[in-house]
Amino acid sequence: MELKEIKCPHCGHVNPPGTQLCQSCGLMINEDYDKNKIKDVMRYDGSAVRSKVKSQSIFDKIWIFFTSIRNGVIIIALIAIAASIGTILPQQYFIPIGVDPETYYSDNYGTFGLIYYKFGFHNLYSSWWFVLLNAMLALSIIAASVDRGVPLYKSLKNQRAKKHPSFFKRQRITLNSETADSEDVNKIIDGLKSKRYKLTEEGPHLLFEKGRLSRWGPYINHTGLIIILIGSMLRFFPGMYIDEILYVPEGETVEVPTTDNKYYIKNEKFILDTYEKDSGSVFDKSLAMQGDLASNYQTNITFYENLSSDVVGSEPDLKEIDTDEIRVNHPFKFENYDIYQSSFDNSSMKSMTFKLVDKNDKQVGEEFTVDLKDPESTYEIDEQTNIELRAYAPDFQEIGERGELISQSPVARNPAFVFQVNNDSLTTPEISLLQIQNTDEITPNNEYKVKFVSMENQIATVLTLKKDLTMHLIAVGFIIFLIGVFIGSYINHRRIWINKENGLSLAAHTNKNYYGLKKELNSVLNENGFDFVNDKDEAEHDDRMKG
């Protein structure tokens, strides 16, 4: 372990502990580095990657553990594997609303589903261990970046054009020509300058450099990632993120949750447009094969503020403050909230209309309509006749012990009615039980019959209430990440060192895309009568091919 700074025997520059190549002249000053871990000594420009300490505190030990890229990769892999587990069964967010999760998972997926639930996998992405993995990822990103970025920055900022000959030999791309004359060499210099290289001169020592920004790409994208992780973390903080469902039947007004009873919203009208079938368009074939396909649906709303600050349950004092038409992709905004059109529900019924007919199937009096949410107790048919609603179940399940109608939910999905027909001509009233597509006479030999005429569906809009103060932070983080990734990937950092003391001595390095660097160099060299550059890797490759 290095403690001491290293003084270069060639140029005298004092280097930080652990440096492999002298920051000034590039001489190899420290062979004692882990060659398995650092395969290309030029990756961080020969600078010390990890500052090691004599007495390692617990903080140092933790830090060093997280600077390892191998460990970082393992953390990334663990996160990816964990994420995949969450896709085996649907997460709790996606199961039907109002259903008890434990019942849902064990009913639908058996023992496997139950185990999945017990382990908390149904809420995997907010589980404590997933959060912990991401925290470790954050630490890994920071530690690895700081430990490499700072020395790299110092090294590139202070680099000199003059390099020791061993540095030249060490590079992958080299070219030597002792017979080159200065005129030709100058042409090369011009050629390189025309390729937008920036030139630094120290006498006969030249450094051509371009694209240094590319080296900062990873550090920029890592910064973006940290911002994203911070934004994601903030989601757990109260008030930062709200995601609620609003179920509003047409015509009704409901309270907007999480606003402390301050806001109410009314579903004035729900509009559903579907694509026309059989219109002669190109879509006919696919439309014919399915039910109605929605082309547009929207909710026309009125938005209210509750002026009364009375306790829960009391009547609100509503003042209208806005109206809007909420369509898919076009939310209604108030304060930090958005209300989105999510879907709709027309599975329950609003009302049913009946008529009374006599023995000859002739209608008696007027039709009557039963409001399935709030039915009347008596309906007037004509002056001599009325119909009493003896019993009603919105979602008929069975007949109870005492003959009562039992409903399995308060939602009008499968209504059943016990109607009693009272008519002046009848000695005893007639009673019958009506369900969907089925009538049972309770009193025998009825003269009159109640018949179903029509039904109106209850349309309810399903809106999503969203407040997300973290979204913009995460977006900014991701944009910075993208900038970093594009800079790091699409730009190449190229450097060419030339020593023109004895003819031409050239070495070149790039952080990636040697193919492109060679192409560029070779074109400049060839134009001026020089050979192609030597590529160490190619030489090895040729040897390998022969073997």
Partner 1 sequence: MQHTFLQISNTSIFIAFILLLIALVPLALSIRSKHEERNSKIAVGIVIVAFILELVYFAFRWAATGHAPVSNLFEFIAMFSIMLIAGYLITYVYYKTKVFGLFAIPISLILLGYGSIFSTDVAPLIPALQSNWLFIHVTTVTLSYGILSMSAVAGFIYLLKIIPADEKSLRARMLEFLMWNIVVVFAFIISISVMRGIGYQNDFLYVDQTGNNAIAEYHLPSLINYNDAQAVNHLGDNQYEAADHFNLGISLPPIIKAHSLNTVVWSIILGTVLYGILRLGFRRRLYTVVKPLAKSADLNLMDDIGYRSVIIGYPLFALGGLFFAAIWAQEAWSRFWGWDPKETWAFITFMFYTIFLHLRLNIGYEGEKSAWLAVIGFLIILFNMIAINLIVAGLHSYA
Partner 2 sequence: MKKRTRNIIRVSTIVAIVVLTGITLWFNFTKDNATTKVGDKAVDFKLKSLEGEEFQLHEVTKDKGVIINFWGTWCKPCREEMPDLNRAQVDHNDDDVIIITVNVSEKPQQIEQFLRGLGEDMSLTMLLDPNRSVTKAYNIGPLPTTIAIDKNNKIVKKQEYQLSKQDIESFIEAVQE
Which residues bind to partner 2, rule: CB under 8 A? 16, 51, 53, 59-60, 62-63, 100, 126, 128, 131-132, 135, 138-139, 142-143, 146, 150, 233, 236-238, 254-255, 257, 261, 310-314, 373-375, 377, 391-392, 394-395, 400, 402, 404, 406-410
Question: What's the token pair of residue 263?
Answer: 């806001």
Give the up-direction half-sphere exposure of residue 316: CA atoms within 13 A in the CB hemisphere. 18
Q: Report d(CA 230, CA 237) in Å as an integer.
A: 11
Residue 127 Cα to chain centre, angstroms: 17
Please provide residue 478's backbone torsions phi and psi, each rounded to the nearest 5 degrees.
-70, -40
Residue whose CB is less far from partner 2, 18 or 211: 18
Which CB sits closer to partner 2, 65 or 515?
Answer: 65
Tokens of 55: 């007495």
- CB count in 10 Å sphere of residue 243: 12
Q: How far is the CB of 393 from partner 2 (least distance, A)?
A: 8
445: number of Cβ within 10 Å: 6
Nearest distance from residue 100's CB to partner 2, in Å? 7
Single out the residue of 486, 501, 523, 529 in contact with partner 1 (rule: CB under 8 A): 486
- Best CA proximity match to 450, nearest among 422, 411, 412, 410: 422
| Contact status: 503 vs partner 1 (CB under 8 A) | no
Closest distance between partner 2 and the C-beta of residue 379, in Å? 13
79: part of which helix (H) or strand (E)? helix 69-85
CB of 256 to partner 2, least distance (A): 12
Answer yes or no whether residue 90 interacts with partner 1 by CB under 8 A.
Answer: yes
Examine residue 47 and tell whether it contacts partner 1 (CB under 8 A). Answer: no
Chosen from partner 2, partner 1, none, partner binding at 529 (C-beta under 5 to 8 Å by type): none
If the CB atoms of residues 1 and 80 are measured against partner 1, the closer one turns out to be 80
* 331, interface contact from partner 2, partner 1, none, CB < 5-8 Å by kind: partner 1
Q: Which two tokens stand for residue 306?
A: 């509750």
SS3 81: helix
| Residues 55-84 contacting partner 1, CB under 8 A | 69-70, 72-73, 76-77, 79-80, 83-84
Strand partners, 177: 504
Q: How far is the CB of 69 from partner 1 (least distance, A)?
A: 5
Please identify, using beta-carbon distances, which residue of 331 and 415 lies nearer to partner 1.
331
Q: 109 contacts which partner out of partner 1, partner 2, none, CB within 5 to 8 A by kind?
A: partner 1
Chosen from partner 2, partner 1, none, partner binding at 33 (C-beta under 5 to 8 Å by type): none
User: Structure tokens of 368?
Assistant: 């009557």
| 331 binds partner 1 per the rule CB under 8 A | yes
Q: Give the residue, chosen from 406, 453, 482, 539, that forms a contact with partner 1 under the rule CB under 8 A.
A: 482
Binding partner at 186 among partner 2, partner 1, none, C-beta below 5 to 8 Å by kind = none
* Phi, psi angle pair for 182, to nearest 5°: -65, -30
Which residues between 93 and 152 bind partner 1 (CB under 8 A)?
A: 93-94, 96, 108-109, 124-125
Question: Could you write out the three-class secondary structure of 146-207?
Answer: HHHHHHHHHHHHCCCCCCCHHHHHHCCEEEEECCCCHHHHHHHHHHHHHCCCEEEEECCEEE
Whole-Å CA distances, 190 to 194, 347, 424, 469: 6, 78, 115, 54
Mention every residue, 6+ apart, whose C-beta is less than 8 A from residue 57: none
| Virtual torsion, Cα 21, 24, 26, 27, nearest 10 deg | -80
Which amino acid would we find at residue 356?
L
To the nearest 10 degrees (0 to 180), the angle between helices 69-85 and 58-67 is 70
Closest distance between partner 2 and the C-beta of residue 196, in Å?
A: 33
> Which of partner 2, partner 1, none has residue 233 at its interface (CB below 5 to 8 Å by kind)?
partner 2
Between 21 and 491, whose beta carbon lies closer to partner 1?
A: 491
Q: CB–CB of 245/464 below 8 Å? A: yes
Instruction: Return residues touching partner 1 (CB under 8 A).
Output: 39-40, 43, 69-70, 72-73, 76-77, 79-80, 83-84, 86-87, 89-91, 93-94, 96, 108-109, 124-125, 243, 275, 281-283, 285-287, 289, 293-297, 327-329, 331, 338, 340-342, 464, 466, 471, 474, 478-479, 481-482, 485-486, 489-490, 512-513, 515, 537-538, 541, 544-545
